[in-house]
Chains A and B, each alone.
Chain A
Amino acid sequence: MAGLLKSFANLQISCKFLHPRVEAITVPSRGRKHLNYWPRKRNPIWLTKQTRVQYNENLTADNARFIKEVVDTKYSNSELSLGIAGSLRTSPLKVEPIEPKAEWQPSYRRTGVIAKKIGIYPLWLKNGKRVFTTLLQVLDNHVVRYIPPEDYKPILFKRKHKNNPRQERLGCLVVGSDSCDPQKFTKEYCGLFTDSGVMPKRVLTRFRVSPEAALAPGTPLVAAHYKPGQIVDIRGKTIDRGFQGVCKRWGFKGGPASHGVTKTHRRPGNIGGGGEKGRVWPGTKMPGHMGNRMRIHKGAKILRINTKYNVLWIHGISIPGETNSFVSIYDTILPLRRLKESPSFPTYLPTADEPLPEELFCDELHPFTEPTIQFSEES
């Protein structure tokens, strides 16, 4: 019986070999999503055209002065008129955060802030090591509007988010930065700011927030929203480098400079095999347009905060964008480096009785106001 079974099994195996099969090669879409795709900008429907044509309106000097006066009076009572950059402006509404005020939980998502990249310079740690830091200035940030989760219907969700209950639980907070003269903008764009009562902003960004972390429109966001030592993610548009070759774009080594080499110094070389794979595979690194796309720098540490000028010192130099460009900062989503202790929730609201010191430092950073570093046995 056993022998019969054995022979039957053998027959099955041989049948498998005899069975005609279709020769199929699976082509992995390696890097197609991340390497070369061009993100389409999908603005929300309520966002109107921002700037208008600056045609000559033939204003007399008196008229121009009058318009300036109107603008000043409209936004001055709330200390919102154009002042020195980085100064704290309080809300015109004098509103408390949207009630009820909830205690922070690790599952809650706070809002982020918009910041201007203002430069890079070194700081020193207490162990004498020099670290380069990027300075990001939180430039007059205000909440412009809050969209609750049930009303928030973005034009297109990614497929994986479509039925994701966690994403559907989140609302949306529109934050604006960099107040400008309203004459620069269209009438419709200025209308976006009537609810919050803030001066029209040049830069607007949406942040997904938990309903518990929602803020009333007009609430100012300052650098003290974060604490030194916290880890953040930074999203910004990288420097536009134009059409570049493979050496600059992908860091290829290029060819030798001499020893009889002609016309092959900075070329990519071979771009694929032959036979069944006889074509250029998707995702192959090739010359093309470099930069000018949104990139997220994850896991950056805040080393120092200046509460007067609203500046964050971020460890590292690879923050996307040029100097004087805008980036958005939010609490990191990296699972091991997420917030463990309660931050200022939903945001830092300045109180008169206990003002923050002007400079806040991370533990390992050496403040310049301290004396020279002397190494002792225990350190």
Chain B
Amino acid sequence: MASVGRILSHDIRQNIQNFKSLFGKDCRWLSSQAIETQAKSSKENADDKRKVDDRENTAPLEFRFKYPEFLPDPNAAYRNSTRERLERMDMMARRAHIDIPTFYVGSILAVTLSDSHAVGKTNRFVGICIERKGCGLRASFRLRNAIDKQGMEVVYNMYDPTIQKVECLRLEKRLDDKLLYLRDCPIEYSTFPFDMEPELIDETAPVRINTLKVPLKPPPWLERWERQDLKGVQEFEVNEKRRRKAEKHKTPWEEFDLMKIYRQTIPMEDQKDIFAEVYSDLHKLEITRRKMARKRKFNRPDKPT
């Protein structure tokens, strides 16, 4: 019995190890069930797979990565089903008027918005998305670019009705959930031309991951990067004191804290209900977007040779 238990616990630990790579700070899309399905035996796995397939008929599982803002705050003290439904209705009403493309942290976006201080004109900003935050109508993203060699960051609310257009110029992911360390990198790593052409991408292919590793400038830094487990940063040296303190502040047990993961996630059943509600509308919007993209592709004149 004890040996079985040990094997099981070993199994679970291994699964957590696999799972670790996914584990970031903002992980509302994770679920208790996703872990369980991996930990079960092969026969049970097959059963679960069938269940998952059934779910895919309603809303694909990648929706939690594509539309993370539809998942509410997992803190039970802030949850209310009526409020969440009303919020989703408002979000869909806004999405009917503006095409918000799928994007991730690391994608390059261009945002056009009406400016109340320049009547009749628009304001366009291009930059790399370094952070995605908030859920529901509070959802926002932060764009960074360098203008005249000066780093600029703009936070946009995704459902702000003054936003006229959001374009995804380059759809890709980076190695980290937040790219705030670009503030302490040489400026060329956050410089993007304003006249960038949107790249044509295959919608069906998996999203490209940019494995670029950026160098950090020497300290002083804005944050203690040595304490954060950054993947998209080249090896860097810190002095003895900072290294010692970083060692002291490590919390390696947190990734095994199942209760913590549970508290930070929305249960799979809730996710299913949430996406079932908005799936048909989102799917329709996706189809129209794809059609528009194809049209644009067709209309583009060939380059004179």
A positions within 8 Å CB-CB of B: 85-86, 118-119, 121-124, 127-128, 130, 135, 137, 306, 309, 311, 322-324, 366-377, 379
Tell me if A118 and B82 are in contact (CB < 8 A).
yes
Q: State in angstroms the CA–CA spacing of A311 and B119 once bound together.
A: 35
Tell me if B160 and A130 are in contact (CB < 8 A).
yes
Tell me if B161 and A373 are in contact (CB < 8 A).
yes
User: What chain B residues lie within 8 Å of A85 (beta carbons)?
Assistant: 82
Nearest-Cβ distance from residue B289 to partner chain A, whole angstroms:
17
Q: State in angstroms the CA–CA spacing of A367 and B97 once bound together.
A: 12
Which residues of B79-106 are within 8 A (CB) of A?
79-80, 82-87, 90-91, 93-94, 96-98
7 contacts between A and B (CB under 8 A): A119-B87, A121-B137, A123-B137, A128-B160, A372-B163, A375-B119, A377-B120
Tell me if A127 and B136 are in contact (CB < 8 A).
no
Count CB-based A-B contacts (< 8 Å): 81
Q: With A309-B86, A376-B120 given, is the CB distance from A118 to B160 under 8 Å?
A: no
> Which of B77, B94, B98, B162 contacts A128, CB < 8 Å?
B162
Q: State in angstroms the CA–CA spacing of A373 and B116 once bound together.
A: 10
User: What chain B residues lie within 8 Å of A370 (beta carbons)?
Assistant: 97, 161
Q: State in angstroms the CA–CA spacing of A276 and B206 once bound together.
A: 80
User: What chain B residues lie within 8 Å of A377 (beta carbons)?
Assistant: 119-120
Q: State in angstroms the CA–CA spacing of A135 and B159 once bound together.
A: 18
New A-B contacts (7) at CB < 8 Å, excluding given A86-B82, A369-B93: A119-B78, A368-B90, A372-B97, A372-B161, A375-B120, A376-B120, A379-B119
User: What chain A residues lie within 8 Å of B82 (beta carbons)?
Assistant: 85-86, 118, 137, 309, 311
Tell me if A323 and B78 are in contact (CB < 8 A).
yes
Nearest-Cβ distance from residue A365 to partner chain B, whole angstroms:
11
B124: Cβ under 8 A from any A Cβ: no
Tell me if B86 and A306 are in contact (CB < 8 A).
yes
Q: Is the interface of A mostly helix, strand, loop or mixed?
A: loop
User: What chain B residues lie within 8 Å of A123 (beta carbons)?
Assistant: 137
The interface on chain B, measured as residues whose beta carbon lies within 8 A of the other chain's beta carbons, has a size of 32
Tell me if A375 and B115 are in contact (CB < 8 A).
yes
Tell me if B116 and A311 are in contact (CB < 8 A).
no
User: What chain B residues lie within 8 Å of A124 (beta carbons)?
Assistant: 160-162
Tell me if A122 and B157 are in contact (CB < 8 A).
yes
> Which of A121, A137, A376 contacts B119, CB < 8 Å?
A376
Nearest-Cβ distance from residue A189 to partner chain B, whole angstroms:
27
Q: With A127-B116, A368-B161 given, is the CB distance from A121 to B138 under 8 Å?
A: yes
Q: State in angstroms the CA–CA spacing of A366 and B288 once bound together.
A: 25
> Which of B77, B137, B162 contacts A322, CB < 8 Å?
B77
Chain B 159-185, CB-CB to A under 8 Å as 1, else 0, gives: 111111000000000000000000000
User: What chain A residues lie within 8 Å of B96 (beta carbons)?
Assistant: 369
Tell me if A121 and B116 are in contact (CB < 8 A).
no
Closest A residue to B119 by beta carbon equals: A375
Nearest-Cβ distance from residue A105 to partner chain B, whole angstroms:
36
Q: State in angstroms the CA–CA spacing of A376 and B115 once bound together.
A: 10
Tell me if A122 and B120 are in contact (CB < 8 A).
no
User: What chain B residues lie within 8 Å of A372 (beta carbons)?
Assistant: 97-98, 114, 161-164
Tell me if A122 and B80 are in contact (CB < 8 A).
no
> Which of A121, A311, A373 contacts B136, CB < 8 Å?
A121
A-B residue pairs, 6 tightest by C-beta: A119-B83, A368-B93, A118-B80, A118-B83, A128-B162, A368-B94
Closest B residue to A368 by beta carbon equals: B93
Tell me if A373 and B83 are in contact (CB < 8 A).
no
User: What chain A residues lie within 8 Å of B93 (beta carbons)?
Assistant: 367-369
Q: With A121-B138, A128-B116, A373-B114 given, is the CB distance from A135 to B163 under 8 Å?
A: no
Q: State in angstroms the CA–CA spacing of A372 and B94 once bound together.
A: 9
User: What chain A residues lie within 8 Å of B90 (beta carbons)?
Assistant: 368
> Which of A122, A128, A324, A376 contacts B137, CB < 8 Å?
A122
Which residues of B131-165 are within 8 A (CB) of A?
136-138, 157, 159-164
Q: State in angstroms the CA–CA spacing of A323 and B80 once bound together.
A: 8
